[in-house]
Amino acid sequence: MHRISYLLTDGFQVLSLATQAVFEFANIAAQEPFYTVEHFSLTGGTVRSSLGLALDTQPLEAPRLADTWIIVGVTNPLPTQSSPQTLEFLRRAQAHARRTVGICTGAFILAEAGLLAGRRATTHWAYAHEMQRRYPDVSVEPDRIYIVDGAIWTSAGMTAGLDLALGLVEKDLGADIARSVARKLVMHHYRSGGQSQHSEMLQLAPKSDRIQRALEHARKHLSHPLSVEELAEVVNLSPRQFSRVFSAETGQSPAKAIEGLRLEAARLMIEQSRHSLDVVARETGFRDRRHMREVFLRGFGIPPQAVRRDARTPPRS
């Protein structure tokens, strides 16, 4: 039996508790009570979420053994700091646990305890740069769903915790059980840890239907040249009008936005398929493999080969 212990603080983000459904349905899929779940806080008793949900917890008492500790984040991690007792407990507990996990801004608590020093980690995109500023000895990767570095797992914000929990299940019980759980939870797609936190279409967020239509056209025809003239014709504007309206609504030029869509599509193809890089470059509209590499280095800081390698590398336990 695998004991999972959640560490909560007042103001915790309630969506983090949704990860417990992953372990519940893993038990059902495995046809045995593989996981048990408990809740803890520093002094025990009632802990309230940011929305006011009250949850009863047990106090942290050494020695408290668990196979996996999951540190739950709060909605805003910046104003507060963890108690010295909590940080000391985590340092001791991490030495005995199989894994220590920070969901969303729970990574800040792990960093405070020194457990992320010299490691790769991620957190909610809105706080990633602040985390890097506060903890320069941590290699913060702000554009990842979750990261596994040895026995430390960290996830991006909100629903990314579900992907991390499925990653834990896959590590413990295998890919078939993880896929079964994802289907039962009606998760459209189980995202690997290397995937981006962002959708380029969401980030552009055009205000009008006509610019949305142009972007949808571009997304469906990335292998085409996609000139301004072509996109303008789709929405019945002159090229000059289209460029002006597009930039006003998205904050980017059409060329820059299309490059972002190509980059996102290429990364997904690299992560999720076995197509050669030449095929990926052609299908997503880059001039050739070399051009795609240049754009990857500019956009992600790593070449396409590194993205494929990360997607195929199994998590370290």
Return d(Cα 170, Cα 152) in angstroms, integer. Answer: 16
| Cα–Cα distance for residue pair 307/270, rounded to 1 Å | 7
3-class DSSP assignment, residue 49: strand
With beta carbons less than 8 A apart as the criterion, state whether 127 and 108 touch: yes
Catalytic residue annotation = 104
State the DSSP H helix or E strand holding residue 101, giving kind and residue range, or none if neither: strand 99-103
Q: Cα–Cα distance between 300 and 232 in angstroms, integer? A: 29
Q: Which helix (H) or strand (E) holds 72?
A: strand 68-72
Radius of gyration for the chain, computed over Cα atoms and rounded to the nearest angstrom: 22
Q: How many separate helices (H) and strands (E) can be counted in the chain?
A: 14, 10
* Cα–Cα distance list, 197 to 50, 81, 159, 181, 192 (Å): 23, 26, 10, 22, 11
Among the residues of the chain, which ranges form H helices? 19-30, 84-96, 106-112, 128-134, 160-173, 175-184, 200-204, 209-220, 228-234, 239-250, 254-272, 277-283, 289-300, 304-312
Q: How far apart are the first and last CA of the chain?
A: 17
